[in-house]
A and B are shown apart, each in its own frame.
Chain A
Amino acid sequence: MDTLERLLSEHPFFKDLDPRYIQLIAGCAREVTFKAGEFIFREGDPSSHFWLIRSGKISLEVFAPGRGPIMIETLGEGDVMGWSWAVPPYRKQYDARALELTRAIEFDAMCIRGKCDEEPKLGYELFKRFAQIIGQRLQATRLRLIDIYGSHS
């Protein structure tokens, strides 16, 4: 088995995925490294990729006029970054910046979408996993929305 395939099959996100599909996906993947401070993508960029972070830390930021950039989430080892590739209009909504040297596996979204069209079952498996990611992010965001640490007096 290819190193990349081994990496993917060991990753919790692809647990229990048919090795044949792992092979298919690996065909759309490559290893990448981001230097500290480097932008992975900017707000408005087309959603052409998603990433499996292997090490390091990436910050998702929005820029508020008058307030400057605000970090709304950091993602690190084991996290999946990027779900907007699966949802139209396929555009990035935040900036993503590496806070430290970060290694990740980068997936070409168009390639993946193509493979999913060919093999709908693969599409179903991927979308199940991404639905979970989106759910977790929503949950975590809602918790911060209620401002649990606020003084409420």
Chain B
Amino acid sequence: MDTVKILLLILVLSMTQVAKAGGLALRFGPAGLGSGGTNPLSLPPSGADVGLSYVTDKKLEFNGSITGLTLARRDMSKWGGYVSLGGGLIFNANGIGFGPYAAFGYERGCLSWLGCFSIEMSQALGVGSGTLVSPYAVRIGVIRWF
């Protein structure tokens, strides 16, 4: 877990170097880590239940969570739905690997001070040494565009 926190910190710091305009998303939800389905969301949410994303104005996404560190390109629709497709370092309880990442999400109901409601289902495939890991997560939260 400490490794995950350090990697998340590196991701956040790296995002600030490239950030000029975009959105920062914080979502909560349990991840499927290759050991069956998901556990219920912890209350309050634990570190494993948190997903963090930074989206640039060019629709480039930097994502960090317990399921991996990924870079993706976002294709948005006018009604608030979007698909993200990219790749990165993927991990779950059974191993670590590099592979594709995809997310299906919806953003709506923007409030000026809090941000927009955001729900997202993300999935990834990590090809490692002798293993194929397939984590996923369903998360709900907010994205604040600035």
| Binding partners A and B | no
Interface residues of A (CB under 8 A from B): none
